[in-house]
Structure 1
Amino acid sequence: MKTVEMKYGTGSTNVSIPAEHLLSIIKNNPMNINGTEEEIILNSLEKPVGTPKLREIVHPGEKICIVFSDITRAWQKMSTFIPYIVAELNQAGIKDEDILFISSTGSHRGHTKEEHSWLLGADITSRCEIIDHDCLNEENLVYLGTTSFGTPVSVNKRAMECDHIVLTGAIVFHLLAGWGGGKKSVLPGICSYNTIMTNHALSLSPNVGEGSNPLVRSGNWVDNPLHEDMLEASSFVNPSFMLNVIVGADGSICHAVSGHYVKAHEAGCQVVQEMDGVEIQEKADLVIASAGGYPKDINLYQTSKTLINAKEAVKDGGTIIILSQCIEGFGNDHVQEIIQNYDTVVERENALREDFSIAKYIGYFVSEAAERFNLILVSEMEQSLVERANIRVVKTIEEALTLTYKEMGKNLKTHLMPQGANTLPQVK
C-alpha cells in the first residue's frame, strides 16, 4: 500500500491505496528561490518588465492610486510587499497624502479598519488614505466605453482621477481568466457590478444548452473570451505599473514580477506554469484530492478551486474524491440556490443565463462536474444538502474508497493530489 498524508480542516488524514494502482502524486514542481522575500521584491522593482522603474515613472505632486487585493486574498502577504512600493514612491518625491489605496473588492464585501491594518500593515494604514471599492455605488463610477465583447466598462472614479494607477496582487491559476493577478485588479477589481457580471457571463458557451465554454478555463488564454475582454477593459484604464508576487506551497513569496501590467504579468504566469502546472502521463480512473485544509476547505465555494484542477486528471465518467471539511457549508447563498433548487444541469444553466452571478456559476460548475464525473466529498456537509446535484458525501476517506471500489471495481488507476487547490494537472 502507498499512504499519503493529506490536509483536512485544521488537521490531516491518511490516504492509502495499492501501490500498483498509483499513477502519480501530483505536487508542485521544485523551484529555485533566489533570496529572501525582501530581496525578491526589491530585485523585481529594480528590474521591471516593459516599463521604467516605478520611481522613474512618477513625479512629485502627482496623485497615485495603489490597487490592492481584498480579504479573500489575504494569503498574498500584501503587508510584506506593499511597503516597498510606498518606499519607492516616497523616494521619487511622492508624499504619503498623495497616495490612495483602493481595495479591489470586485463584488465582494468591504472591510473593517482592523482588516485594512491586517492586510497592509499598521504603518501604511496610519500614513495613507485607504478605501474599499463599491461596485454598486453608481456615484463613484465613471463609464469608459464598451469592449468589443459588449461589456460596458465602468470603473472606480477616484482611481481614474489619479495620475497613476499601480496594480498589486498575486498570480495563481484561475478557473475563468486562465491566471489570476494582472488585469484582474481592474476587472473585476475596481469595476461596476454590471461590468463584472457581463464579463463573467462569457464563461458560458455562446449557445444555450452547451454549458460552460471549454475555452474559459485554468491555464488557458488562447481564444479565451473572458480573458480577452478583461484585457480590453484594462486597456481603457491603462495602469502605469504593476507588482505581482507568486506564493509558494509553504506560504512564502518565492517570486515577484513588476512593470507593464500585461508584459510583466505574462512573465509571472510562466513562473506559475513552471511551478504549479504539473505534467501527467495519462488521466486516471480515480483522483483523490485534498483542498489543502483550512481555510481552503472552509466551504464548497472554496472547494470548487480543487475540483477545477482535479477534473483535469480524471477520465470522463471517472471518480473524483475530494477531502474538504466545509465547516461553513456552501459559503454563499447563490451557490446553494443553484445546487438545491434544480434537478438538471440544463435547468441550472437556464437559471444562470437569466440572472448571472459568479457564485451562481460556481454552483453550476460544481453541478456540471458532478454530471460528468462521479463526485464524492469527504466532508462534514450533510448529504441532503447536495443530493439534487448528484454529489455524494461521506465522513471518511475509507467510506469513499469502499463506495468507489464497490461501484467501479478495485483495479483503478489513481492520481493523488495533496495540494489540490494549487496544482493544475496537464496531460503530456
Structure 2
Amino acid sequence: MRYSVGIGDRCEEFELDEADVIEVMHANEVEVGEVGPALVRAALERPRATPRLRELVSCGQRVCVITSDVTRPLPTAEILPEVMDELHAGGVSDDDVLLAIALGSHRPQTQDELRRIMGPYFGRLAVLNGDSRGLVHFGRTRHGTPVDILAEVAEADVRVSLGNVEYHYFAGYSGGAKAIMPGVSTFEAIQANHALMCDPAARSGNMESPVRLDLEEACRMVGLDFIVNVVLDEERRIVYCACGDFVEAQRDACRELDRLYGCPLAEKADVVVVSQGGAPKDLNLYQLQKALDNAKHPVRDGGAIVLVGSCAEGLGQPTFERWMREASSPAEVVDHLRREFRLGGHKAAAIAQIEERADVLLVSDLPDETARACFMRPFRHVQEALDAALAEQRARLGREPRVLIMPHGGSTLPLMR
C-alpha cells in the first residue's frame, strides 16, 4: 500500500505491506464546528479570567502584541486582524501598537517573512524584529532564572501575546508564558530556564512541568495582560481558541490539544516513520527534533526511526552543531550535557539520548556528512531509508517488523497503553 509524508514543500511517497502497519497516526476524530478567525472572534468575546481586551486598554496607551516567528505554524495573519479590531474598539490606534516577533534564540525575520506573518497589517504597525535598544531587568525567579526582557516590550502599557499550543518535549506544552520567555528574553535567561529540562517531570504533556512553572513565575514578574492561544488541526486550520489569563487560557487550550492529539497506542513499533508534516516545522534539524522526540515513545529499544524533514536551513543553531561535530558518539554528547548545560547543546543531548537506544535514519536535504556528524544515517528518499530499516530489523528480530507512521509527528503524542 502507498503512504506519504510531508518534507519541506513536497510529499514523499513510499510503499509498505499494510499488514505490517500498526497505524497511521493522525489526530483523533473530534467533531469540530466552525474553523478559522471566527473562533478567535468568539473567544475574544468570552475571555477566561480577565475582562475583554477592549476593556483592558484605552486611548493613548502603548500596546505590545507579541507573536511567533516563521518556525511556528501560528497563522498570525488570521488572528492579528481580530485582535486589532478589539484594540480599536478600546480606543487604541495602529500608531500605538508594536508587534514584537518572539525570536527567542532564533534569527530575525526577512521582509518577506514579516509580510507573511503580518498579512494585512504589514506596513501598518511598528515591528520589533531582533533590533531592540536594550533590556529591562525584573529580578530572578526562585530557580534563579534572570528575568531580562526587551525594553520595548517591558515598557509597553499593555502586553498581549498570540500563540499556538502544541506539545513541547520539556515545557509540557507551548503557548502562554512562552511568549515572554523565551520569546522576548535573553540567551542567558533561556539557558537558565531550560536547565530544568533535566527534571523527570519536564516532559511532553505535563501541564505542570517545572520548566513551564518557572516561565510562568517570570511572566508574572513582567506582566502579560492577555493571551490569544489557538489549537490547529493537521491542515493548520484554527479549530480552537482560548483567550484571557496567560495561565487559565493556556491550560484550557492544552486540554483541547489532548483531546485532539493525545493518541492512545497499544503496541510498540520496531520502525517508526515520522515527519513534522513539512514546512515550516522542518526548516532545520533543531526544529525537526520535536518530531523525533515524540517518536521515541512508541519505538522499541533497538528499533529504528526514519526521521523525515527538509532541514533546508541546516542544523539551525551553532552550539547544537558544535556539540554534534565535536563528539565521537551519542554517549559523549549526553555526557557533555551532564558536565555543562548549554542552550543548543540541550537539543543535541536530547537527540543523542534517543540515538543511544534506536537507530535514526534521516531523510533530508542536508549534506550526507552533516547528517553523519549528528550520528544519523543519511538518505534522500523515504523508501530507501525504510527498506534499509526493515531489512536490518528483520534480520535482528527474525520476523516482519511492525511499523508506525507519524505524518505529523511534532503534533501527535503517542500515549502508550
Determine if the TM-score, normalized by the shorter chain, exceeds 0.5.
Answer: yes
Question: What secondary structure does 1:27 align onto?
Answer: coil
Q: Provide closer, same or farther for how the CA distance between residues 36 and 10 of structure 1 changes in structure 2, counting only shifts above 3 A.
A: closer
Q: Provide closer, same or farther for how the CA distance between residues 156 and 336 of structure 1 changes in structure 2, counting only shifts above 3 A.
A: closer
Matched, 1:188 2:186: no
Distance apart, 1:260 and its partner CA: 0.6
Structure 2 equivalent of residue 237 of structure 1: 222
Structure 2 equivalent of residue 210 of structure 1: none
Structure 2 equivalent of residue 91 of structure 1: 89
Structure 2 equivalent of residue 50 of structure 1: 49
Q: Distance in 2 between matches of 1:167 and 1:13?
A: 35
**Could you report, residue by residue, the CA deviation over 1:96-150 in whole angstroms, capped at 9, with x for unpaired residues?**
332222222112222344543331134x34433222355xx6x621111111111
Question: What secondary structure does 1:312 align onto?
Answer: coil
Question: What TM-score, normalized to structure 1?
Answer: 0.89
Equivalent residue letter for 2:222: V
User: For residues 131-280 of structure 1, what are the structure 2 equivalents within 5 Å?
Assistant: 131-133=128-130, 140-203=134-197, 205=198, 213-222=199-208, 224-280=209-265
Q: Distance in 1 between matches of 2:268 and 2:108?
A: 41
Question: What TM-score, normalized to structure 2?
Answer: 0.91
Equivalent residue letter for 1:16: E
Contact 1:340 / 1:386 at 8 angstroms: preserved in 2? Answer: no
Judge which range, 387-396 or 83-92, deviates more. Answer: 387-396
Q: Distance in 1 between matches of 2:293 and 2:323?
A: 18
Question: What secondary structure does 1:372 align onto?
Answer: coil
Q: Distance in 2 between matches of 1:388 and 1:97?
A: 49
* Match among 261, 285, 290 for residue 300 of structure 1: 285
Aligned-pair Cα RMSD in Å: 2.3
Q: Distance in 2 between matches of 1:92 and 1:284?
A: 54
Contact 1:34 / 1:40 at 8 angstroms: preserved in 2? Answer: no
Judge which range, 225-234 or 343-352, deviates more. Answer: 343-352
User: For residues 55-94 of structure 1, what are the structure 2 equivalents within 5 Å?
Assistant: 55-73=54-72, 75-94=73-92
Distance apart, 1:82 and its partner CA: 0.8
Gaps of 5+ in 2: none
Distance apart, 1:5 and its partner CA: 2.2
Gaps of 5+ in 1: 206-212
Q: Provide closer, same or farther for how the CA distance between residues 354 and 43 of structure 1 changes in structure 2, counting only shifts above 3 A.
A: same
Structure 2 equivalent of residue 331 of structure 1: 316
Matched, 1:417 2:406: yes
Judge which range, 187-196 or 332-341, deviates more. Answer: 332-341
Structure 2 equivalent of residue 105 of structure 1: 103
Distance apart, 1:36 and its partner CA: 4.3
Question: What secondary structure does 2:194 align onto?
Answer: helix
Q: Provide closer, same or farther for how the CA distance between residues 102 and 384 of structure 1 changes in structure 2, counting only shifts above 3 A.
A: closer
Equivalent residue letter for 2:152: R
Matched, 1:128 2:122: no
Distance apart, 1:382 and its partner CA: 4.3
Distance apart, 1:10 and its partner CA: 3.3
Contact 2:43 / 2:243 at 8 angstroms: preserved in 1? Answer: yes
Question: What secondary structure does 2:104 align onto?
Answer: coil
Q: Distance in 1 between matches of 2:130 and 2:312?
A: 29
- Identical residues among aligned pairs (%): 31
Q: Distance in 2 between matches of 1:232 and 1:160?
A: 16
Equivalent residue letter for 1:348: V
Structure 2 equivalent of residue 362 of structure 1: 347
Distance apart, 1:388 and its partner CA: 5.2
Matched, 1:341 2:326: yes
Contact 2:35 / 2:237 at 8 angstroms: preserved in 1? Answer: no
Contact 1:169 / 1:243 at 8 angstroms: preserved in 2? Answer: yes
Q: Distance in 1 between matches of 2:288 and 2:264?
A: 22
Q: Distance in 2 between matches of 1:145 and 1:273?
A: 34
Q: Distance in 1 between matches of 2:124 and 2:246?
A: 26
Contact 1:63 / 1:164 at 8 angstroms: preserved in 2? Answer: yes
